[in-house]
Amino acid sequence: MPRFAFRIEYDGAPFRGWQLQEGQPSVQGTFEAALARLDPAAPRVHGAGRTDTGVHATGQVAHADLSRDWAPERLLMALNHHLRPHPVAVNACALVDEGFHARFSAIERRYCYRMVSRRAPWVHARGQIWQLRHALDADAMREGARALIGRHDFTTFRASLCQAPSPVKTLDALEIETLPVEGGGTELRFNLRARSFLHNQVRSIVGTLERVGAGALEPARVGHALAARERTACGPVAPPQGLFLTGVGYTDDPFAG
């Protein structure tokens, strides 16, 4: 059976996350239903990451084994036809060997969290950004974020229901971009990169750094919170609508070229 890899983008607002759930709308379920229109075997789709309710993606990766061969471009177009009108689209498709696994072959995952500081209401893309009315000190947030880079026990920034076998993860990058916006505000983009993340890790980190940017916490408190290994030392969890899974890396990129 030929195996295909898909790069998928979606608006997470209508879904209860990526993972298939009984009686609940999910991105995986929507994608599998579209595939079933093309393949009577109704193949199971395996994703690279389980985004939560309301979280978006521009670079989710999944794979599935189909019962017959397809030209990747034709398969991409057919899937996008059957995915309508759901806010899900395939932006790349490739034939891969049977050793490729969307989740287990991944060597890194990249997330971006979008936040805007502006007093006037944010009209465009308001379901895809976290708006705050108060000013934020990006330099203080960058100072606090430095304590999180590297290999650490991230228990403080882990959801209580996280099923990962270990809280130890290596955060390879955490960069904070600032962009001016109309109306005198600032957009902040938190770009994080790691082999894998814990449940709610990104949103917990962003929520804590927001408190630093607002002046409620000193930058050094981020490192102290990490060392505490206590969930109660974490700041509030940032809301899901600002979070995007922007990419998944592999030793051999299935979509290269």
Cα dihedral 212, 228, 207, 172 sign: positive
For tokens 């996350």, name the residue.
17
pLDDT in tens, 53-102: 999 999 999 999 999 899 999 999 999 999 999 999 999 999 999 999 99
CA distance 52 to 9: 14
| CATH fold group of domain 3-105 | Alpha-Beta Plaits (3.30.70)
> How do residues 220-244 score in pLDDT, each as one tens digit?
999 999 999 999 999 999 999 999 9
Query: What is the per-residue pLDDT across 135-171, written as a single tens digit (0 to 9) for each?
Result: 999 999 999 999 999 999 999 999 988 888 999 999 9
Catalytic residue positions, numbered: 52
Half-sphere exposure of 209 (CA within 13 A, CB side): 29
One fold for both 3-105 and 107-246? yes
Domain range 107-246, CATH class: alpha beta
What residues does each domain of the chain span?
A: 3-105, 107-246
